[in-house]
Amino acid sequence: MKKILITGGAGFVGSHLCERLLNEGNEVICLDNFFTGSKKNILKFLDNPYFELVRHDVTHPYFVEVDEIYNLACPASPIHYQYNPIKTIKTSVVGAVNMLGLAKRVNAKILQASTSEVYGDPHVHPQKEDYWGNVNPIGLRSCYDEGKRCAETLFMDYHHQNNVNIKIIRIFNTYGSNMNPNDGRVVSNFIVQALKGEDITMFGDGTQTRSFQYVDDLVEGMIRMMNSPNDFLGPVNLGNPNEFTMLELAETIIKLTNSTSKIIFMPLPKDDPKQRQPDISLAKEKLNGWEPKIQLEEGLQKTISYFKDILNEA
């Protein structure tokens, strides 16, 4: 049994990771300040004697004895990370310093949940880990993009200077149950609008592309990365390489929900990437052949079922 700390553990991805690690027989400490995380996501674990919930903000130091740390704390959707951009970048940067300091003190292995946003609006397609990115350092999205880029720098420097055992993953668009219906991400937006019969809001002309990964595939990749040999630090892309336009996504969701929704077009937000697709050859090579197993329609059906239940409760 390992003692594992998950920052942002009550969030969308964090709650799935909590469940998987508990099911594997570990002791899990879930750290969250509930800015975007939800107690609903982790209610079912509260009676588990090996699960501990701590309300805490990672911008303040936290002291505990653990074997591993998954650092997921940070709002990940534009509507939330742009709400308080200074808080967002502090969460990424100061939070990384605090968690790396903890890992150094207790000799824990630590994984940083970075993001495909470090590639910005890419000039290279698909994106490989050796691409340095095309990021606006003073734009609306930069609090998130640059915060995550700086966190990667800190992880590497703590490794080189203090020999901290680090892992870095770059997460591409992920969806699934436990998403907040109002989180502003494209999959949840489109599904909720389709289920309500509202117009589906398409930003831009719908030709921009994304690659969508179901959350179970991501969690599998995260755990494989944490358990990979110590000499493999990353960064490594975790995403589904199948690329879809926003129009294809909207039309698939309308079909799967039998919705009468119409698609309406709005201006594209500033610095919104035109293309996003991971090259996952490094993950396949280093993480025992890891690749996504759940493709878009299957994952969307699971997610639509979850949102139907959420909307019925409301």
- Binned at pLDDT 50, 70 and 90, residue 184 comes out as confident
Within 13 Å and on the Cβ side, how many CA atoms surround 106?
19
pLDDT of residue 99: 98
| Contact status, residue 136 vs residue 142, Cβ threshold 8 Å | yes
| Burial call 35-55: b when 16+ CB within 10 Å, e when fewer | bbbeeebbeebeeeeebbbee
Domains of the chain: residue spans and CATH: 3-175+213-241+278-294 (3.40.50.720)
CA dist., res. 221 & res. 238, Å (int): 7
Residue 49 pLDDT greater than 80, yes or no = yes
| Model pLDDT, residue 272 | 74
Query: Amino acid identity, residue 175?
Result: Y
Place of tokens 């755990």: 223
* Residue 245: strand pairing partners: 209
pLDDT digits (tens, 9 = 90+) for 96-119: 999 999 999 999 999 999 999 999
Confidence of residue 314 (pLDDT cuts 50, 70, 90): low
* Backbone angles phi and psi of 72, in degrees to 5: -110, -5
Query: Mean pLDDT across the stretch 187-209?
Result: 94
Annotated catalytic, 144? yes
- Per-residue pLDDT for 53 more than 70? yes
Q: Catalytic one among 62, 70, 119, 144? A: 144
Q: Report residue 72's pLDDT band, with 50, 70 and 90 as the boundaries.
A: very high
For the residues 274-298, what does the mean pLDDT come to? Answer: 95
Q: CA-CA distances (angstroms) from residue 201 to 77, 247, 249, 253?
A: 16, 11, 12, 13
DSSP for 243-295, written as a single string: EEEHHHHHHHHHHHHT----EEEEPPPTT--S---B--HHHHHHTTT----S-
| pLDDT of 275 above 90 | no
What is the number of alpha carbons within 13 Å of residue 101 lying toward its C-beta?
12
pTM recorded for the entire structure: 0.95
Beta bridge partners of 134: 120
List phi, psi (to 5°) of 198: -85, 165
Cα–Cα nearest to 180, from 43, 307, 30 = 307
State pLDDT tens for residues 138-165. Answer: 999 999 999 999 999 999 999 999 999 9
Whether 151 contacts 98, CB under 8 Å? no
Mean pLDDT of the chain: 95
* Residues facing residue 27 across a β-bridge: 3
Tell me which DSSP letter residue 120 carries.
B
- CA end-to-end distance (rounded Å), the chain: 39
Q: What is the pLDDT of residues 82-93, one digit of tens each?
A: 889 999 999 999
Banded model confidence at residue 230, pLDDT cuts 50, 70, 90: very high
Is the per-residue pLDDT at 271 higher than 90?
A: no
- Is the pLDDT reported for residue 233 higher than 70? yes
